[in-house]
Structure 1
Amino acid sequence: MISISSIKHLRIPFSIFLLPIFFFALALTPNLNPMRLLWVFLSLHLFLYPSSNGYNSYFDKDEKSIGGLKNPPKVTKDLYWLAQAFFLIALIIGLQISVTYALLLLIYGLVSMVYSHPAIRLKKYGWLSWFITGFFQGHFTFCMAYIGLSDLDWMAMFRPHILIPGLLTSLMLWASYPLTQVYQHEEDGSRGDRTLSLKLGVLGTFLFSSLWFLITAAGFAWFFMDRNQEAVLWVYLACMAPVVLFFFVWFSFVRKDPEKYANYTWAMGMTWISALALNGFFLYYFFENTQILQVINQV
């Protein structure tokens, strides 16, 4: 029997935080197909990501706040099998597109499993887990979505027009990921997980993320300028302005009292405002880059 706690640990609404990568891939996909779009969206956001969330929660057994759950309920045995069932459904949906896409889903799922499985537990290796998480949730996910949406073979991952925007998404994740760990130092330390944020310290985490946010902004500025999309660049900067403002307001409070303000509420506030801004921008970019807005205006 499936428990309510297990359903909560899937954290399905939390998938919205990775939705910008899907929209970015969607914006750059030249041959859109409604059914492929539906299959890719469902396989990633309704099944693969929740499967990963549930699997990691099962082995972490967190008692304090985690992403998307301020007060996580106690983990039960059925969570493990529920997570595996969601993973299997994701693979079955992936096969509706291609074997290649299903294999990419499989690779992503297996990597997410070793992140928290006690036999390997990448999470305890700060720099390695930071790099792998950013790479797979960013670049790999972008390429996976693009290949699924376009029904391409896996070699497409190495083509510059896919490789470069994919790496830009990893820059976003490498910048924001340590901030999601900043309120978990005590619990991570008690389990022996030397996360990057724990290694850097609270203030070091903010300085590190600010540097990577700057690199990310420079990367996207170059990308849009290279495509002669100066107007899009200004929209991007406008969408990022609230995120930057929130970050520096939060940082100013943290500098005064790290223990008080490096908490779940502020971290989730940062995550939510980033998700709303990025989803809004990449959804706009999808309409703009595919010229759907121009078609609508002419009707």
Structure 2
Amino acid sequence: MPVYFFALSQVNHINWYSAALVFVILHLLVYPASNGYNSYMDRDTSPVGGIKNPLQPTKQLFIVTVCMDITAVVLSFFVSGLFAIGILLYILASRAYSYRKIRLKKYPVTGYLTVIIFQGAVTFFLVYHGADSNHATNVPVISMVASSLLIGGFYPLTQIYQHEEDVNDGVKTISYKLGYKGTFIFTGIIYAFAFCALGLQFFLNLEWTRFFILQIFMIPVLVYFFIWFRKVLKNNSEADFKNTMQMNVLASICTNLGFITILILHLIE
């Protein structure tokens, strides 16, 4: 969702019908179907995502995810043909990430790159293109890179409490490879690059004020990040489900509010 609002804030002439349809396709169909399919393949018994005690998935879940994917692709043609192709590629990448016979997620680097490219740069492109009144294809590359880096900086933290569960399932995530301390350091470095990219994009557009506004919204996230990192340095058991979900919720709220504020400023100009 932060990538959606970031992309929307960069569109000069928004087609609100298309923007709303893009939101529905991504957030009510594609993302939930992707998570559902991943759960069907993983069959987690320990906490995953935002669920502490997940129920075992059934065949019905698989059928529902397929129906949601088909619906998403069909609706995407009402935005544009290019958007529909992009959504189809996103779905295929998501399936390749989870599907047992391909299972990109078991490869730390390949899995990581798949996630950050499609949830970051590709999603930014699709939202920008889909919401633009003329369905522009000259999407700002720096913003696409920044989107991938934002996802790339956060994603390893979502894996940090699942090391044992993942290894038992034959999956070695980038967080597992980095270790607890390494995950935090890596996340901090990628986030720094992300905000450098964001700063460059805003400065090129002479939007310094908006960039600093975004920094203000990110202060609570940084404070929690360093407090949590300090706890993990003292005791690895602090890299648990509860702390991960608190970080997840805080980062989501602050990032969304930051980009929504920037979008509002963009609209009232």
Give the TM-score band, short-chain normalised. Answer: over 0.9
The answer to whether residue 163 in structure 2 is matched with residue 181 in structure 1 is no
| Alpha-carbon separation, structure 2, partners of 1:283 and 1:270 | 20
Task: Decide which of 169, 187, 190 is 1:212's aligned counterpart.
Answer: 190
Partner in structure 1 of residue 126 of structure 2: 144
- The answer to whether the Cα contact below 8 Å between 1:97 and 1:151 also exists between their aligned partners in 2 is no
Question: What is the SS of the residue equivalent to 2:56?
Answer: coil
Distance 1:124 1:241 in 2: 33
Alpha carbons 2:120, 2:148 under 8 Å: kept: yes
1:225 maps onto 2:203 in alignment: yes
Percent sequence identity over aligned pairs: 34
**Pairing partner for 2:256 from 257, 274, 279:** 279
Report the equivalent of 1:8.
Answer: none
Gaps of 5+ in 2: none
How far is 1:162 from its partner? Answer: 2.2
Task: Choose the corresponding residue for 1:74, options 30, 39, 56.
Answer: 56
Match in the other structure for 1:11: none
Q: Deviations over 1:34-86 (max 9, x none)?
A: 21112111111000101101111100111111112111111111111110111
8 A contact 1:36–1:149 mirrored in 2: yes
Alpha-carbon offset, residue 119 of structure 1: 1.0
Give the gaps of 5 or more residues in structure 1: 1-18, 295-299
Q: Which residue of 1 aligns with 2:11?
A: 29
Distance in structure 2 (CA, Å) of the matches to 1:120 and 1:183: 24
Aligned residue type for 1:117: Y
Across the aligned residues of Structure 1 and Structure 2, the Cα RMSD in angstroms comes to 1.3
| TM-score, L = length of structure 1 | 0.87
Amino acid at match of 2:189: L
Letter in 2 for 1:273: L
* CA–CA separation in structure 2 for the residues paired with 1:164 and 1:125: 27
> How many residue pairs end up in the alignment?
269
- Are 1:170 and 2:152 matched, yes or no? no
SS in 2 for 1:120: coil
TM-score by length of 2: 0.96
Question: What residue is the counterpart of 2:168 in the other structure?
Answer: 190
Over residues 228-274 of structure 1, what are the superposed CA-to-partner deviations in whole Å (9 max), with x where a residue is unaligned?
Answer: 2221122111111110000000000000101x210111111111111
Match of 1:289 in 2: 266
- Indicate yes or no: 2:232 matched with 1:250: no
**Residue 220 of structure 1: CA displacement?**
1.6
